[in-house]
Structures are given as C-alpha cells and as structure tokens.
Amino acid sequence: MRKKLVVGNWKMHGSRAANAALLSGLKELGPWSADVAVCVPFPYLAETALALTGQAVGLGAQDCSAFEQGAYTGEVSSAMLADLGCRYVIVGHSERRAYHHESDQLVADKAKAALAHGVTPIVCVGETLAEREAGQTEAVVKRQLAAVIHTLTHCIGEIVLAYEPVWAIGTGLTATPEQAQAVHAVLRKQLHAATQKSDAMRILYGGSVKPDNALQLFAQPDIDGGLIGGAALKAADFAAICRAAH
C-alpha cells in the first residue's frame, strides 16, 4: 500500500506576510495521514523551513540546476536545496518546459542532480491539448519519462512522478478520474519495466485539483496523491485536499 503524498506548488506566488499566514493556517488544520509538502519560491525556502520546524509538512523547491556548482548566474543547485532542508524539488514542470524550453534530457539531468544530494525529484510529465486531441498523449508522456529512466537507470525507483496534463493546469478543466487513471496506469507499466520498485513508487496527479474533486481522483488505483497549484494557496482548500488523501 502506497502512502499518499500531497504537494502544494506555490509557483510564483506569495510574500513573507502571506506565507506566514498560509503556513500558520496549515499548522492549525493539520496533521494529515498523507505525506504533505509545500514547494515554495527560492527566496522563501529558509524562512519556510523555520516555520515548518516540528511539523510533518515537508519542504520543497520548484526547480534546480542540472549543474553541481560554478559560473551559472541565477541557478540554484540541488546541494543548496539540501542545505536548506528541502526534501523535494519539482523538475520538468510544464511551465518550465514551455517558457524556459527545458528539454526531456535537461529535466532528466536535473532529476539526477537532485538525487545526488538526497533531494527527491518530483518529475512532471504531461501532454498539451493539441497533443491529446491528436491522440498522442501516451507517446508524449512515455517519451518524457523514458529520458528520465534512461538517465537515472537503477535510481529511477527513487523519484516521485507527477502526471499533469497541460490543458488541465490552472484552467479549471480537471482530467476525469478515468482519464487520469488511464495515463497513470501507462506510466506505472513503463516504470514496472524499468524497476522492481514500481509498485512502491508514487504517481501524483496535477491539474485543477480542488477540494470537491480530490477524493474521486485519489480513489483511483494508480493515483497516489496530488500536485496542487491554485488550491494550495488557500489553507482551508489545501487542508481539505490533504484530508481527501488517505
């Protein structure tokens, strides 16, 4: 039985005051039986780590460099994330693939860099609306995952995978539980061929998860929790989603 994981992706939202209010709201509403984490913007990692002291909520970042260290202005290394107490880092979010032209290989290299420092990469895959309508969903997510499997080889069992259909992100258009489950099953099968640990690996769903649809999504056999955007910015909504994951 896989323990569910719910991760809030704050994206480029927040301020010191807003974060303090959100985190203290979560503290009052928790704990939950699922594993829970928040992936916050880089400038707020240190302060969030302090605010989460003694709580079961894990800390994560939203990206990391594929490089170890050096002259890479503006980059943040996975060693730095580990140093700040990060347990997770999101890599390959569709917003980074789209706006920063991140390739499948770069995403895989970032996942490798994270694992090298004991930070669990949450690797995102997902198709665009045009790709879904062209019947390419399976091919796209399999291609994105294949690069990570090829690069991590025997370490692939250490990642968390997240299926985030691009057309469902921030649109209010959630994949139906059946649509999401179908893709999760494809991904689990691909992982199964690569590692004996596939049954223990968590595959999260992301894309317009809300308190009113979380329960149905999380009830699917291969959906092991969620990667939550907008609803993670409201303590009551995020807490309700965490409660739905049991």
Question: Does the annotation place 8 within a ligand binding site?
Answer: no
11 is in an annotated binding site: yes
Stretch that binds ligand 13P, among 20-28, 46-54, 205-213, 236-244 (CB under 6 A): 205-213
51 in Cβ contact with 20 (< 8 Å): yes
Q: For ligand 13P, what does the binding mask look like between residues 221 and 240, x meaning CB under 6 A?
A: ------xxxxx---------
Which C-beta is closer to ligand 13P: that of 180 or that of 194? 180
Q: Establish whether 93 is a catalytic residue.
A: yes
Q: Which is nearer to ligand 13P, 169 or 201 (CB)?
A: 169
Given the residues 47, 93, 138, 192, select the one marked as catalytic: 93
Q: Is 208 in the site for ligand 13P (CB under 6 A)?
A: yes
Residue 19 assigned to a binding site = no
The one-letter amino acid at 26: L
Contact with ligand 13P (CB under 6 A) among 38, 141, 169, 241: 169
Binding mask 82-111 for ligand 13P (x = CB under 6 A): -----------x------------------
Which one, 79 or 223, has the nearer CB to ligand 13P? 223
**Catalytic-role residue among 102, 127, 131, 164:** 164
User: Does 166 interact with ligand 13P (rule: CB under 6 A)?
Assistant: no
Q: Contact positions toward ligand 13P, by CB under 6 A?
A: 9, 93, 164, 169-170, 206-209, 227-231
Catalytic positions: 93, 164
